[in-house]
Chain A
């Protein structure tokens, strides 16, 4: 069986799901898993018994991952949150790239200390901070003292409340609504590697903001750097209702184009094939940190790395197995991602593209035999239709929107995105070399983004392009 890892991933997911519903103790499950593992080692030569043992092993691993995630350290900040949500002082260092959304600065804070009554208590864990004063300069690694109310996180698998919470961050974190920015103690560099990547990201953000109009800059910041906070609500609605919201969330499309450009440039530089692949894997890894390590980026990065590494060792990669490795890695690190919309959309869209799109392509291919352009159009159409068919129920469930125009919109938008992303990379490289040089490419980008928005707005205004559905009981 070729796609064995897909089966194991499903068992792992089932384990997470059961652990989220049934309260189980960690150690008895752990001992059971260890017994199964030892039995598996003993029966390694017995084909049937070994394979039967693997599924419960992955299922138990899923249960254990969930239990481990929700087990807090004894000095974890969540243990000090009272039901009354009183204002407390918190000291900690900024652990993520601060984003601006609705005039507030949002970032993760790695808590070091909290003040209880009149003394400081050492604490650990991360909380999501919302700082209303967006003019305060906050950066990764800054050691801050803040005062505010900490709100406990809601259980992430309660999907009916999904949209009511800050959707930019992991849902299992407590939220600190800052009422007073007390002081910045020092610029303590948390992790030098990430610090310099974020510094670079800040520089890229400045190049975009200085050279483009605010609306174009907000779109490009989302498309290239994954900073979606600046996009006006009206434009966001246009993207959502035309089924093209995926272009402002960095995903496989963006990473694929980036990888393609890097490979071409390295080939032009005359670098050997294997080294070329290794350098591309490294750059993609840095790019995924640069864009905030969101689930679709991590998924695409792992899959691309497996495909490229298979090229290095001259073996053929199995797409389902690489997808499974990506899912297992993400879920092992944070099992709550299973209930995250981004995770579900990202993985289901790949399944649709790999599994369903070739079948649709074959179905219609007899009508498009003669023309190359028609063949290309058919390929894009099959991908767009298959993704629409698979994702529509999920989008209706979460957003109550059925976008009929999405199929056609994506056929046109996806090739256009290849152009836009390539032009954006050239613009940024020019900006890094010499800022006025970026001006020339900025004009080109302004026209492209303006065309993109006008085109989407036209589709959005067409009667019957989308429908808002009533809430189901």
Chain B
């Protein structure tokens, strides 16, 4: 059909093997590149710093409405920055149930 010699066929097979091996290894390396570190850090990215978060940031969290966000900011300005997430329970309107709902979205730095 193409009148390829045996040597040419071997060269083509070698070329394709090289292409496939390099693509496979490159893809595998990309997919498995520092996964743990990345995901640990990325989870943290979405968390809001309770001492820096604005009204808008707080209301983006599921479970915090405008009124509760106002109360958190008011508490922060009155008593200073939160030292521990547990201190949130001192804010009026945050009980154990509410705290457990929102704590995963907040952090203290």
**Residues A1-27 near B (CB distance < 8 A):** 1, 4, 8, 26
Q: Which of chain B's residues have a CB closer than 8 A to the CB of A80?
A: 45
Q: A71 and B19 in contact (CB under 8 A), knowing A1-B2, A37-B13?
A: no
Shortest Cβ distance from A71 into B: residue: B30
Query: Residue B10 contacts which of A26, A44, A51, A71 (CB distance < 8 angstroms)?
Result: A44
Q: How far is the CB of A414 from chain B (nearest CB, A)?
A: 35
Q: How far is the CB of A23 from chain B (nearest CB, A)?
A: 16
Q: How far is the CB of B36 from chain A (nearest CB, A)?
A: 9
A-B contact count (CB 8 A): 83
Query: Residue B20 contacts which of A4, A61, A124 (CB distance < 8 angstroms)?
Result: A61
Query: Residue B4 contacts which of A4, A33, A116 (CB distance < 8 angstroms)?
Result: A4
Verify B49–A117 contact, CB threshold 8 A.
yes
Shortest Cβ distance from B33 into A: residue: A73
Task: Tell me the complex Cα distance, A113–B37, Å.
Answer: 13
Residue B24, interface by CB 8 Å: yes
Residue B54, interface by CB 8 Å: no
Verify B23–A74 contact, CB threshold 8 A.
no
- Max chain B C-beta neighbours (<10 A), residue from A48, A58, A67, A75: A75
Q: Which of chain B's residues have a CB closer than 8 A to the CB of A313?
A: none
Q: How far is the CB of B27 from chain A (nearest CB, A)?
A: 5
- Residues 52-93 of chain A, each 1 if its beta carbon lies under 8 Å from chain B, else 0: 001001100100110110011111000110000000000000
Q: How far is the CB of A113 from chain B (nearest CB, A)?
A: 12
Task: Tell me the complex Cα distance, A270–B23, Å.
Answer: 45
Q: Which of chain A's residues have a CB closer than 8 A to the CB of B33?
A: 73-75, 124
Task: Tell me the complex Cα distance, A262–B90, Å.
Answer: 82
Shortest Cβ distance from A116 into B: residue: B45
**Residues A24-60 near B (CB distance < 8 A):** 26, 30, 33-34, 37, 40-41, 44-45, 47-48, 50-51, 54, 57-58
- Residues 105-138 of chain A, each 1 if its beta carbon lies under 8 Å from chain B, else 0: 0000000000011100110100000000000000
Q: Which of chain A's residues have a CB closer than 8 A to the CB of B27?
A: 26, 30, 64, 67-68, 71
Residue A97, interface by CB 8 Å: no
Query: Residue B31 contacts which of A41, A57, A61, A71 (CB distance < 8 angstroms)?
Result: A71
Q: How far is the CB of B21 from chain A (nearest CB, A)?
A: 10
Task: Tell me the complex Cα distance, A65–B2, Å.
Answer: 26
Residue B85, interface by CB 8 Å: no
Verify A57–B16 contact, CB threshold 8 A.
yes
Task: Tell me the complex Cα distance, A124–B17, Å.
Answer: 28
Residue A332, interface by CB 8 Å: yes
Verify A75–B24 contact, CB threshold 8 A.
no
Verify B16–A61 contact, CB threshold 8 A.
yes
Task: Tell me the complex Cα distance, A79–B31, Å.
Answer: 13
Q: How far is the CB of B42 from chain A (nearest CB, A)?
A: 8
4 closest pairs, A vs B, by CB? A74-B38, A73-B33, A1-B2, A51-B1
Q: Can you give 9 contacting A-B residue pairs, CB < 8 Å?
A: A1-B1, A37-B16, A40-B13, A48-B1, A50-B4, A54-B16, A58-B16, A71-B31, A124-B33
Interface, chain B (partner A; CB < 8 A): 1-4, 6, 9-10, 12-13, 16-17, 19-20, 23-24, 26-27, 30-31, 33-35, 37-39, 41-42, 45, 49, 109
